[in-house]
Amino acid sequence: MKELPIWDQTLIEKYNVAGPRYTSYPTALSLTEGFQQQDLLSAMASATSRSLSLYIHIPFCSQLCYYCGCNKVITRHQAKADSYLDFLATEIIAQAPLFKHYTVEQLHLGGGTPTFLTSTQMTRLVKLLEQHFNFSAHTERGIEIDPRSLADNMLVNLRDLGFNRVSFGIQDFNDAVQLAVNRPQHADKLKQLITQARQLGFTSINADMIYGLPLQTPSSFKHSIAQLIALNPDRVSVFNYAHLPERFAAQRKIKNADLPSAHDKLTMFKNTLEQMLDAGYQFIGMDHFAKADNELAIAQNKAELHRNFQGYTTHQHCDLLGLGVSSISLIGHTLLQNHKDLKSYYHALNTTHGSAINKGVHLNSDDVIRAAAIKTLICQFELDMRAFSQHHGVNFNHYFADALTAIKPLIADGMVTIADNMLRVTARGKLFIRIICMCFDAYLQQPLNSTRFSRVI
Ligand SMILES: C[S@@+](CC[C@H](N)C(=O)[O-])C[C@H]1O[C@@H](n2cnc3c(N)ncnc32)[C@H](O)[C@@H]1O
Ligand code: SF4
């Protein structure tokens, strides 16, 4: 069992600045245009993994949530999904043969809203994937679900299609907050769905919440977290609302005056932390909690946790193939991203024989070493400097001289310790893991002042 994080108000006031979420290193902001299928082929030539994590992006949603920062297309026209599946089929048929020596360990459908698809469309997609990729009997199959728009028999269909994990977007139970973000939903329906998911045998039930939304107060959110805990999900993500209206037009519909103050936001997260820990959840890191007997908590305790674009995961050694509009892949040491808007995605597939790759970055040897250090810290909260040096053929103290200088103030403030070749994040430092990782990030020119990321708490 890991040490519980400690809330230290003085540190919070000093260090609550913006920073990357490190679902990758370098972050997606480092991707540049001009990448194409040939870059995937070169990446595959030097990749050593034979295990695949497959991500499929379904961009459609039937209604706009004003806070949303995801890549989505709002529509009520179901036929748009048929055309999308036609293009996705072209991409699958072109790309899957390259991965015939891989076994799919993990399939994740994200969005947008994957359950925008009808049962017929969902079946078509899964059958297509099964026909072209090698799935094992143990493949983890997960899907993001918007509980408001779920067809009556969808959970049963998903189970029949082999899905064993579900993630429900809840965000908040409070009626006024739901109205302010244009996402009204009924708590009773959600309760029914979670009960049904358990009865059907889904082995992991995740729920997404957001704090910092308009009209939320510390007491209203405390009540929402209590309602969430009563539903007993296995994992919970409590995201910090990233309000970036200059990037996401929908967020301009949110009135600044309705947003909770910085102080209230912090109180909400503090309360959430206490409520979740009291309810027996383990703090996995940043915004993520899992029941102590959940595989994420077990993996963290065994130092086997991993992090990718979907967040924390137990699949350590997989290459990641992302298909669909805006999807990101990580093959060996190359990050690749498909075109982000539907028109360009469709155009690319029409003109390039099934590839929609547009952006990317080849990790150089420094990126690979820094990525390993950041991932170890973000997943385990500690790093064995001697073992790291041996594994990567570097002298940690020399190689990371810049990082070890940058981290000194954090050591002085009791957030990190270095002793006997172990770099450890203390209970006080856990909430600032993003700031600690930023010391190892060679791309940050002004580490503590970046406005392109959300605040760490
Ligand atoms: C693709 S959505 C989940 C599936 C489905 N579309 C839904 O909303 O239920 C992914 C999650 O991202 C989170 N999210 C979206 N916009 C966000 C923002 N601006 N700040 C923080 N979290 C956000 C929400 O918690 C949401 O559940
Ligand atoms: S939060 Fe989910 S349902 Fe709402 S707009 Fe974003 S992706 Fe769509």
- Smallest Cα–Cα separation from 353: which of 4, 53, 37? 37
> How many Å lie between the centroid of ligand 1 and the Cα of residue 71?
10
* Ligand 2 atom 7: residue of nearest CA: 112
- Cβ–ligand 2 distance for 169 under 6 Å, the answer yes
pLDDT in tens, 408-441: 999 999 999 999 999 999 998 988 899 999 999 9
> How many Å lie between the centroid of ligand 1 and the Cα of residue 22?
17
Which numbered atom of ligand 1 lies nearest the CA of 72?
1
> How many Å lie between the centroid of ligand 1 and the Cα of residue 299?
25
Which numbered atom of ligand 1 lies nearest the CA of 144?
4
Going residue by residue through the chain (457 aa), what tens digit of pLDDT does each one get?
456 788 777 877 777 777 888 989 999 889 999 999 999 999 999 899 999 999 999 999 999 999 999 999 999 999 999 999 999 999 999 999 999 999 999 999 999 999 999 999 999 999 999 999 999 999 999 999 999 988 889 999 999 999 999 999 999 999 999 999 999 999 999 999 999 999 999 999 999 999 999 999 999 999 999 999 999 999 999 999 999 999 999 999 999 999 999 889 889 998 999 999 999 999 998 889 999 999 999 998 888 888 888 888 888 789 999 999 999 999 999 999 999 999 999 999 999 889 999 999 999 999 999 999 999 999 999 999 999 999 999 999 999 999 999 999 999 999 999 999 999 999 989 888 999 999 999 998 554 444 455 666 6
Ligand 2, residues 146, 148, 208, 326: which to mutate, most atoms within 8 A of Cβ? 146
Which numbered atom of ligand 2 lies nearest the CA of 144?
2
How many C-beta atoms lie closer than 10 Å to residue 199's C-beta? 10
Q: In this predicted structure, what is the pLDDT of residue 19?
A: 81
- Smallest Cα–Cα separation from 39: which of 310, 330, 316, 327? 330
Which numbered atom of ligand 2 lies nearest the CA of 171?
1
Residues with CB under 6 Å of ligand 1 are 61, 67-70, 110-113, 144, 146, 169, 171, 208, 210, 239, 241-242
Residue-range domains of the chain with CATH: 29-320 (3.80.30.20), 365-449 (1.10.10.920)
> How many Å lie between the centroid of ligand 1 and the Cα of residue 140?
21
Which numbered atom of ligand 1 lies nearest the CA of 208?
25
- Cβ–ligand 2 distance for 113 under 6 Å, the answer yes
Q: What is the pTM of this model?
A: 0.93
pLDDT in tens, 126-151: 999 999 999 999 999 999 999 998 88
Angle between helices 342-351 and 79-95 (to 10 degrees): 40
Q: Which tokens is 256 given?
A: 């600044």
Ligand number with the minimum distance to the CA of 115: 1
φ, ψ of residue 394 to 5 degrees: the values are -135, 165
The C-alpha torsion from 335 through 339 and 342 to 345, rounded to 10°, is -100
Which numbered atom of ligand 1 lies nearest the CA of 243?
19
Ligand 1, residues 239, 246, 286, 325: which to mutate, most atoms within 8 A of Cβ? 239
